[in-house]
Amino acid sequence: MKLSDREQDGVVILEPKGKIMGGPDASLLHEKLHECIELDKKRIVIDLSGVDWMNSTGLGILISSYTTLRNNGGMLKLANVTDKIQSLLTITKLVTVFEAYDSVDDAIASFE
């Protein structure tokens, strides 16, 4: 997995690419999310358009980040969720937890 990030309208957009399956790659995303929280950047969108698939480790990173942000007055939102990840969110009922948007722009606008 590779990870890039940018900022738009006060929202941090994280753009992982590849697969989120555990091991060193997953640590990268986990650490980046917590770095944002420590820097008081609490409005975060994860653009999943470049993620082929993720497993329960990836879902766990999203959940722990979601709860940490929410407990600190922030919010994590998802954009461009692929069919495979949408399917995982559905079978795990996490679709009821995350706000997901069809585009990064829509996700950013939802913070307004």
Count of residues that interact with another protein, criterion CB under 8 A? 27
Element (H, E) at 67: helix 56-71
Decide: is 12 part of the binding site for another protein (CB under 8 A): no
Least distance in angstroms from the C-beta of 76 to another protein: 12
The answer to the question of residue 71 lying near another protein (CB under 8 A) is no
Q: Which of residues 28-57 bind another protein (CB under 8 A)?
A: 52-57
Question: Which run of H or E residues covers position 93?
Answer: none
CA dist 50 and 93 (Å) reads: 23
β-pairing, 51-54 with 99-101? unpaired
* Cα–Cα distance measured from residue 2 to residue 45, given in angstroms and rounded to the nearest whole number: 16
Binder of another protein out of 36, 59, 79, 100 (CB under 8 A):
59
Give the footprint of another protein on this chain (CB under 8 A). 19, 21-25, 52-57, 59-61, 63-64, 66-67, 84, 88, 91-94, 96-97
